[in-house]
Amino acid sequence: MYMQALIQKYNVPGPRYTSYPTVPFWDESTYTRSSWIKSLQKEDASREISLYIHLPFCESLCTFCACNKRITKRHEVELPYIEALLKEWSMYLEILQEKPVLKEIHLGGGTPTFFDPEHLKYLLETIKGSCELPEDISFSFEGHPNNTTVNHLKTLSSLGFDRVSYGIQDYNPKVQLAIHRIQSFETVKSITEQSRAFGYKSVSHDLIYGLPMQTLEDVIATINKTTALMPDRIAFYSYAHVPWTKGNGQRGYDEKDLPSAKLKRQQYEMGKKMLEEKGYIEIGMDHFALPEDEMAIAFQNKSLHRNFMGYTTTKTDKMIGLGVSAISDSWFGFSQNQKNLNQYYDSLTQNELPVSRGHILDETDLIIRRKILNLMCHFESNLDGLDINTQLEIKNDLAEFESDMLLTVQDDFIRVNPAGKAFIRNICMAFDLRLKAKKSESQLFSMTI
């Protein structure tokens, strides 16, 4: 009964904090292409970068997905898009001035494996050839079990990729039909085994709870099948219902088809229990890993990082996002590309960086960003560096969590209790000064539970 009361109390819309400030509260009045470029050219900044490449094309629409994508079966779109990516990259090479040290690449989407392996090879070899490559690189991609081929695995492995995540979501045919993501366990088993045969040292499966038509029994069955394959990492995401997002397929079913907040929490707690019984360690929010996996090690030694790519074991101050709608991060500023593909192409045709909006962080932003990052990665933080009034405001907001035994505050140090991990988004909201200053009348975020 106690947990049910907390779920009712804290189940409110809230950010997932892949950044601070969160995108809806960016201050675009201080952002220009020039200010964004200056934030990348800070003196004494490291040459190390991470690279996110957004590949938006999918052959069919998954109705649970809120990502920026373009649905098409026309594969002739591949090469023009890759040429556009390379032109954008050439612009960043000029901006960065010095030859970058490429620590990390992540291919996201959309469906990266929509692209022909030879086209991906052309893109990646060109980018790699323009950078210094350290020994400790981390290259990963998102694969669709239905269209990731042996040639994809072989080609990307030869380019240094050794991490792959497969979107599974749920194995129940009724749920798969509702979300338009149909794939068999046999297909997933085959591609998982093939990935390991090609030397991928970290294979991840992405699961979602809270999906339309999904029961507690569905989650149990999906976890059982998943752990039979023992992927190195498991992302166990809460379904984010945001049907108001433009171009979103989530209008394809009714909200009455979604599990209640109570059932959704039961799905998570059962999944977590089953994963921990199989030896997985809970990492930050939504993630689990086997103890020997690098993500589990990073969590244990407090070197885990979080950015627009999610949790990562590689921390660089600069993360460049290439492609339509991709977001870049200089640590001192954020910048998002054009969301419309034609506008993205048009900017590049005019030899302009295809950015559309962003945010330059002020001193308080930088401090709060670190506090929230520590909470999301390590379940602890402090109030150092903030003025007295801000500290008092945050402490007042945290007092309710403390009375609910979700966290402890001692000498301005905050540690989230095990029960509080389920409410980490709510706890971060206590630090989110921009969210509190600009309360919106419309719902911008998914529910926290």
List the domain boundaries for the chain.
Answer: 27-320, 362-438
pLDDT of 256 reads 82
Select from 282, 228, 220 the least CA-distant residue to 418: 282
Instruction: Tell me the per-residue pLDDT of 311-349, one tens digit each, with 9 for 90 and over.
Output: 999 889 899 999 999 999 999 999 999 999 999 999 999
Q: Are strands 333-337 and 355-360 parallel, antiparallel or unpaired?
A: antiparallel
Q: Number of C-alpha atoms within 13 angstroms, CB side, residue 45?
A: 23
> What pLDDT, on a 0 to 100 scale, did the predictor assign at position 386?
95
Q: What mean pLDDT is reported for the chain?
A: 92
**Nearest residue to 306 via CA among 19, 15, 49, 109:** 19
As a whole number, mean pLDDT of residues 416-431 equals 93
What is the SS3 assignment for 346?
A: helix
In 3-state terms, the chain is what percent helix, strand and coil (to 5)?
45, 20, 35
For the segment(s) 27-320, the CATH number from 3.30.70.20, 3.90.930.12, 3.80.30.20, 1.10.10.10 is 3.80.30.20
Query: How high is the pLDDT of residue 244?
Result: 47
Burial 222-246 (b: 16+ CB within 10 A, else e): bbebbbeeebbbbbbbbbbbeeebe
- Name the residue with higher pLDDT: 34 or 5: 34
Residues 6+ apart with CB under 8 A from 361: 21, 331, 332, 333, 334, 369
The whole-angstrom separation of Cα 22 and Cα 241 is 18
Residue 66 is encoded by which pair of tokens?
Answer: 């809120």
% of the chain surpassing 70 pLDDT: 94
**Residue recorded with tokens 């093939």:** 194
Q: State yes or no: pLDDT of 42 exceeds 90.
A: no
Annotated binding site for S-adenosyl-L-methionine: 52, 64-66, 109-111, 142, 169, 181, 206, 240, 327
Say which residue, 288 or 239, is predicted with more confidence. Answer: 288
Secondary element (H or E) of residue 177: helix 173-179
Residue 30 pLDDT class (50, 70, 90 cuts): confident
Q: Which helix (H) or strand (E) holds 376?
A: helix 363-378
Which residue ranges are tagged as binding site for [4Fe-4S] cluster? 58, 62, 65
Rounded CA separation 141/151 (Å): 14
CA torsion sign, 222 to 224 to 226 to 228?
Answer: negative
What per-residue confidence (pLDDT) applies to 43? 75
Predicted confidence (pLDDT) per residue in 69-105, tens digit: 889 999 999 999 999 999 999 999 999 989 999 999 9
CATH fold of the domain at 362-438: Arc Repressor Mutant, subunit A (1.10.10)
Token pair recorded at residue 40:
């990348």
The burial class, CB within 10 Å (0-12 / 13-18 / 19+), for 369 is middle
Does residue 309 register a pLDDT over 90? no
- The H or E element spanning position 407 is strand 407-410
pLDDT of 443 strictly over 60: no
Spatial CB neighbours of 354, under 8 Å, sequence gap ≥ 6 = 88, 324, 337, 338, 343, 344, 347, 348
pLDDT of 250 > 50? The answer is no
Using an 8 Å Cβ cutoff, are 237 and 208 in contact? yes
Q: What tokens does 421 get?
A: 């991990």
Burial of 8: CB neighbours in 10 Å, binned 0-12, 13-18, 19+: exposed
For residues 341 and 5, the model is more confident at 341
Please give the average per-residue pLDDT across 409-422, as a whole number: 92
Of all residues in the chain, the percent with pLDDT exceeding 90 is 78
Asked whether residue 41 carries a pLDDT value surpassing 60, the answer given is yes
| Distance (Å, whole) CA 45 – CA 123 | 27
pLDDT (average), residues 150-159: 98
Sequence ranges of the binding site = 52, 58, 62, 64-66, 109-111, 142, 169, 181, 206, 240, 327
Distance CA 443, CA 247 (A): 17
Mean pLDDT of the region 367-383: 96
